């Protein structure tokens, strides 16, 4: 059965002219294709239908390919050998496609959220309950705040726009400073949390715990933004600790017992999810409310629906080195096996089996066994978010049209935020609760209890493994960069992003693997520095909004 929110997404699509998502003048004037019919916002169901698109279509251009290009390729957890090389090599420019599509998508979220707030305040009829009206406005404010979190972390100073309609008479909008944007975001999210219900009004809808979880994330980052002498702001670290613990103790959310189940169909809106983008398999006539990302991640049409264009994508050498159990040999190879269940659930190693996915082979089909190919290079293909053929998901998928949701916030992050907030500015911590919470995540992956003191390096390593291919690594490094830029540069510059060959000791059912770097491949490392760390504002936007080049000013609410 389709989720309720997805039904309302479809209803909204039927009465809305889809935004083109390619206009370059969204900073100059508001979109004209949002729901503005004063006769529409007359019931709770209509108001909920109006905000349903904020869970999907407005994020489409970001989710499509930009999410992993920025979050994982730039972050170093994954790479593409022959495509998207600007992002892999840390040379994203103003004309890099994913740079433009991400910027565009985030400002579409901002613009449509602003108009939703405006329309609900203006047109909501007497039959609309005050609780639904309040919640719907909070939903729009939440989406706008999250979009600005992405904008400020990728591009730095950006313009904060709370009302697109004012831009009709004022085209002098300029960028705002990074600290003032973060002040706006945390203030907004605190207000949003008060207006969201503690349990979802409909499946997939935001709750108070979605907002408080984001507050934990926001405050952890803001502690670095307002650091002094390399020391993070303790008040904001305490706030991150406070809100993460509230979510852990009061939300009712729970870690799934098996990590792989987070990505096995149908996993949508499970007990661990605090907020997910809500995609729906919508058939051949509708575009933009489905999840297209699996089309670009699946390694072959053999496991997809006529798409499957991810054959040159996979884990980086650096990422594989994160997993315990793979040890470097005297000749520079990696060898061994890992107990960490997150590896198999995120990346495919030769000989690994995935019975939930059907694989086309010569003469028929079988349950997927990831093939062993190549002589001096091959790929550890991406598994996370890849759910297989239509027959593997009850018929609910087709080429570039998948219905599985995209995680934006999981309970696991709350445990790791708590541990990091307790670590604070110290070199290490042995705090009992911090270790307990850290081990909730660590041991869920099949690993033995971590008993050493927790350090920042330990937390980062855990985050990289837990959230690989969820578009997170880059933003973890941006958060680090706010208060320790050299450490962020050092991590990025030390990553090996080059080709390598993975050989199982036997096929199928391997017991260990050997990884050997491809000798002739030279583009192995990047050099991160202050000149290339931040994304450049897309060229097309600068040509339409030259005020983006003016000095940033403080944002005043």
pLDDT at 281 over 90: yes
Mean pLDDT for the chain overall: 92
Give the span between the Cα atoms of 215 and 222, in whole angstroms. Answer: 10
Task: Please count the CA atoms within 13 angstroms of the CA of 155 that sit on its side-chain side.
Answer: 28
Instruction: Tell me if residue 429 falls in helix, strand or coil.
Output: strand
Residues 41-46 have a mean pLDDT of: 94
Helix (H) or strand (E) holding 314: strand 313-315
Q: At the top level of CATH, which class does the domain 4-220+535-549 belong to?
A: mainly alpha
pLDDT at 166 over 80: no
Q: What is the pLDDT of residues 177-232, one digit of tens each?
A: 999 999 999 999 999 999 999 999 999 999 999 999 999 999 999 999 999 999 99
Check whether 20 has a pLDDT greater than 50. Answer: no
Q: What is the pLDDT of residues 110-144, one digit of tens each?
A: 999 999 999 999 999 999 999 999 999 999 999 99
Alpha carbons 461 and 113: distance in angstroms, whole number? 35
Residue 96 has pLDDT above 70, yes or no: yes
Q: Is the pLDDT of residue 393 over 80?
A: yes
> Before 28, cis peptide (omega within 30)?
no
Nearest-angstrom CA–CA distance, 489 and 195: 40
pLDDT tens digits for range 150-160: 999 999 999 99
Q: What is the mean pLDDT of residues 422-444?
A: 98
* Predicted confidence band of residue 170 (pLDDT cuts 50, 70, 90): low
Let me know: does 349 contact 510? Beta carbons within 8 Å: yes
Average pLDDT over residues 366-388: 98
Q: Give the pLDDT score at 14.
A: 33
Task: Please compute the mean of the pLDDT values over residues 51-72 and round it to a whole number.
Answer: 97
| Token pair recorded at residue 464 | 């990289």
**For 435-450, what is the mean pLDDT?**
98
Residue 2 has pLDDT above 80, yes or no: no
Which band of pLDDT confidence, cut at 50, 70 and 90, is reported for residue 40? confident
Pairing outcome for strands 500-504 and 401-402 = unpaired
Q: How far is CA 260 from the centre of its chain?
A: 18
The model carries a pTM of 0.94
CA–CA gap between residue 521 and residue 211 (Å, rounded): 45
Query: What pLDDT score does 11 carry?
Result: 36
Contact (Cβ atoms closer than 8 angstroms) between residue 501 and residue 518: yes
pLDDT band at 545 (very low <50, low <70, confident <90, very high): confident
Helix (H, G, I), strand (E, B) or coil at 398: strand
Is omega for the bond preceding 314 within 30 degrees of 0, making it cis?
no
Question: Which residues make Cβ contacts (< 8 Å) with residue 102, sequence separation at least 6?
Answer: 61, 62, 66, 67, 70, 150, 154
Alpha helices in 156-262 (DSSP H): 178-195, 208-225, 234-250
pLDDT digits (tens, 9 = 90+) for 336-350: 999 999 999 999 999
Report how far Cα 493 is from the mean position of its chain's Cα atoms: 23
pLDDT-derived band at 34 (thresholds 50, 70, 90) equals very low
Beta carbons of 525 and 493 less than 8 angstroms apart: yes
Total length of the chain = 557
Q: pLDDT band at residue 50, thresholds of 50, 70 and 90?
A: very high
Domain spans, the chain:
4-220+535-549, 293-402
CB 409 within 8 A of CB 210: yes
Which of helix, strand or coil describes residue 348? coil
Asked whether 313 and 386 are in contact (CB, 8 A), the reply is no
- DSSP E strand boundaries for 332-447: 334-336, 353-361, 364-369, 397-398, 401-402, 406-410
Q: Which residues, other chains included, contact 524 with Cβ-Cβ below 8 Å and sequence gap of 6+?
A: 496, 497, 498, 517
CA–CA separation, 33 and 58 (whole Å): 12
3-state SS assignment for residue 281: coil
Q: How far is CA 407 from the centre of its chain?
A: 7
């Amino acid at each position: 059965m389709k989720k309720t929110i997805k039904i309302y997404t479809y209803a909204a699509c039927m009465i809305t002219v889809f935004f083109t998502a390619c206009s370059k003048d969204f900073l100059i004037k508001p979109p004209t294709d949002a729901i503005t019919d004063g006769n529409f916002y007359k019931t709770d169901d209509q108001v909920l239908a109006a905000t349903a698109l904020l869970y999907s279509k407005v994020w489409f251009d970001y989710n499509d390919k930009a999410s992993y290009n920025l979050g994982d390729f730039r972050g170093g957890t994954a790479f593409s050998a022959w495509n998207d090389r600007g992002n892999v090599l840390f040379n994203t420019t103003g004309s890099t496609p994913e740079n433009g599509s991400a910027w565009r998508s985030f400002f579409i979220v901002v613009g449509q959220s602003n108009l939703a707030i405006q329309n609900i305040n203006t047109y909501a009829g007497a039959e609309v309950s005050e609780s639904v009206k309040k919640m719907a406005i909070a939903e729009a404010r939440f989406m706008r705040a999250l979009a600005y979190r992405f904008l400020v972390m990728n591009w730095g100073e950006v313009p904060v726009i709370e009302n697109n309609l004012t831009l009709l008479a004022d085209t002098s909008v300029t960028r705002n400073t990074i600290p003032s944007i973060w002040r706006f975001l945390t203030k907004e999210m605190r207000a949003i949390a008060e207006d969201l219900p503690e349990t979802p009004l409909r499946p997939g809808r935001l709750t108070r715990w979605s907002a408080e979880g984001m507050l934990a994330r926001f405050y952890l980052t803001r502690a670095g933004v307002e650091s002094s002498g390399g020391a993070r702001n303790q008040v904001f670290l305490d706030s991150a600790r406070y809100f993460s613990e509230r979510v852990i103790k009061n939300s009712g959310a729970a870690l799934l017992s098996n990590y792989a189940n987070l990505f096995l169909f149908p996993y949508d809106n499970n007990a661990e999810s605090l907020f997910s983008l809500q995609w729906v398999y919508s058939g051949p006539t509708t575009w933009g409310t489905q999840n297209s990302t699996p089309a670009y991640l699946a390694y072959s049409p053999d496991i997809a629906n006529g798409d499957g264009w991810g054959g040159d994508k996979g884990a980086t050498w650096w990422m594989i080195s994160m997993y315990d159990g793979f040890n470097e040999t005297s000749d520079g190879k990696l060898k061994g096996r890992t107990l960490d269940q997150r590896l198999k659930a995120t990346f495919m190693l030769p000989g690994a089996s995935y019975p939930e996915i059907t694989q086309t082979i010569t003469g028929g089909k079988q349950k997927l066994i990831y093939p062993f190919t190549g002589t001096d290079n091959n790929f550890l293909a991406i598994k996370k978010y890849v759910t297989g053929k239509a027959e593997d998901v009850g018929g609910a998928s087709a080429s570039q049209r998948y219905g599985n949701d995209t995680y934006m916030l999981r309970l696991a992050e709350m445990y790791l935020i708590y541990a990091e907030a307790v670590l604070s500015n110290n070199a290490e911590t042995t705090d009992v609760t911090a270790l307990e919470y850290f081990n909730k995540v660590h041991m869920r992956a099949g690993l033995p209890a971590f008993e050493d003191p927790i350090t920042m390096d330990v937390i980062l390593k855990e985050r990289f493994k837990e959230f690989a291919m969820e578009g997170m690594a880059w933003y973890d490094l941006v958060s680090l960069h706010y208060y320790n830029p050299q450490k962020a540069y050092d991590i990025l510059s030390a990553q090996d992003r080059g080709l390598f060959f993975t050989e199982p000791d036997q096929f199928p059912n391997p017991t260990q693997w050997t990884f050997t770097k491809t000798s002739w491949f030279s583009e192995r490392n990047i050099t991160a520095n202050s000149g290339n760390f931040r994304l450049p504002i897309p060229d097309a936007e600068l040509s339409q909004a030259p005020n983006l080049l003016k000095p940033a000013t403080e944002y005043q609410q």
